[in-house]
Amino acid sequence: MNDQRLLITGAAGTVGTLMRPRLRRPGRVLRLLDLAPQPAAEPGEAVELLTGSVTDAEVMKSACQDVDALIHLGGLSREDTWEATLDVNIGGTHTVLDAAREAQVPRVVLASSNHAVGFRTTDEGGSDGLPADSSPRPDTYYGVSKAAIEALGSLYHSRFGMDVTAIRIGSCFETPLPLGERGLSTWLSPDDCARLLEACLATTSPGYRLIWGVSDNARRTFSLAEAEALGYTPRDDAEVYAPRLAAPPAPDGTLAELVGGSFCTAPLGRHN
């Protein structure tokens, strides 16, 4: 049987770097694409390293050849100018999806973000958590681009029958500590992120899905039900890091309750 070939865009980014060692499997080749240089293959590591942009149709066309599944992490990961956001995140995702369609890649996972709904409040979902399919309330141009990415994924499923799952990622870092108190609710541990991606790849005929990417944090305000329905079982909880945080700052009014946190007040269109 042929190896499974998994294409990951944005492979040298924060999440991509965390996923590379975690998504290695016997019988799987990781095809890793990024604009930035990537570490060379380790002995025995089944990787194919590609350099190029997700906005380049030719690059994406050859990257998608003989690919069984695609995880699209590439693009701008925070606020930037409207022009750059439009080009890289929205245009780039269109280019990626179109190349995947052309190459008949059957399974695509898209990295969306909590910032697609950053102006929702953390208590909206009650004890079940905010539903994963809450309609967009973006907090930035970046958040707008993530909502557009979700819509593109839905379109490519409906028009072309591709299985597309868009993940509204909370905060995927090694630990929730750099994010302070907010991270204790939004954290997606790297190991849980890998578990979630494996579930997205393994599930049978998901169609189009919109799910949250979050660990089973004690302070979680996002619903896990939609991801669990795909077979995701999180094992981590950011609460174990709580004692290491400095005393939490005093509440600063309603903004503290917004899903997007500091993104909700960051200047629009300013690269930060």
How far apart are alpha carbons 164 and 97 in whole angstroms?
10
**Site for ligand 15L contains 186 (CB under 6 A):** yes
Question: Of these, 21, 45, 51, 78, which contacts ligand 15L (CB under 6 A)?
Answer: 78
**Site for ligand 15L contains 120 (CB under 6 A):** no
- For ligand 15L, the closer of residues 17 and 77 by Cβ is 77
Q: Is the CB of residue 154 less than 8 Å from the CB of residue 206?
A: no
How far apart are alpha carbons 202 and 154 in whole angstroms?
19
Question: Of these, 179, 184, 200, 227, which contacts ligand 15L (CB under 6 A)?
Answer: 179
Catalytic residue (one of 142, 156, 232, 241): 142
- For ligand 15L, the closer of residues 103 and 145 by Cβ is 145
Question: Of these, 53, 89, 93, 114, which contacts ligand 15L (CB under 6 A)?
Answer: 114
**Site for ligand 15L contains 33 (CB under 6 A):** no
Is 142 known to be catalytic?
yes
Residues 6+ apart with CB under 8 A from 37: 12, 51
- For ligand 15L, the closer of residues 13 and 103 by Cβ is 13
Q: Which of 180, 98, 200 is nearest to 213 (CA)?
A: 200
- For ligand 15L, the closer of residues 114 and 189 by Cβ is 114
- For ligand 15L, the closer of residues 170 and 206 by Cβ is 170
Using CB under 6 A as the binding criterion, the count of chain residues that bind ligand 15L stands at 8
φ/ψ of residue 9, rounded to 5? -90, 155
If you ran DSSP here, which 8-state letter would residue 266 be given? Answer: S
Q: Is 246 left (phi over 0), alpha (psi -120 to 50) or beta?
A: beta
How far apart are alpha carbons 140 and 131 in whole angstroms?
20
Considering only 2-10, 34-42, 113-121, 129-137, which stretch makes contact with ligand 15L by CB under 6 A? Answer: 113-121
Neighbours of 231 (CB within 10 A): 16
Considering only 17-25, 107-115, 124-132, 195-203, which stretch makes contact with ligand 15L by CB under 6 A? Answer: 107-115
Minimum distance from CB of 187 to ligand 15L (Å)? 8
Considering only 35-43, 108-116, 229-237, 249-257, which stretch makes contact with ligand 15L by CB under 6 A? Answer: 108-116
Question: Of these, 171, 215, 217, 221, which contacts ligand 15L (CB under 6 A)?
Answer: 171
- For ligand 15L, the closer of residues 77 and 175 by Cβ is 77
If you ran DSSP here, which 8-state letter would residue 141 be given? Answer: H
How far apart are alpha carbons 45 and 119 in whole angstroms?
42
**Site for ligand 15L contains 175 (CB under 6 A):** no
Which tokens belong to 106? 């059957």
**Site for ligand 15L contains 270 (CB under 6 A):** no
**Neighbouring-strand partners of residue 49:** 32
Strand arrangement of the beta sheet that strand 208-213 belongs to: 47-51, 28-34, 4-9, 69-72, 107-113, 163-169, 208-213
- Residues with a catalytic annotation lie at 142
Q: Which residues of this chain interact with ligand 15L, rule CB under 6 A?
A: 77-78, 113-115, 171, 179, 186
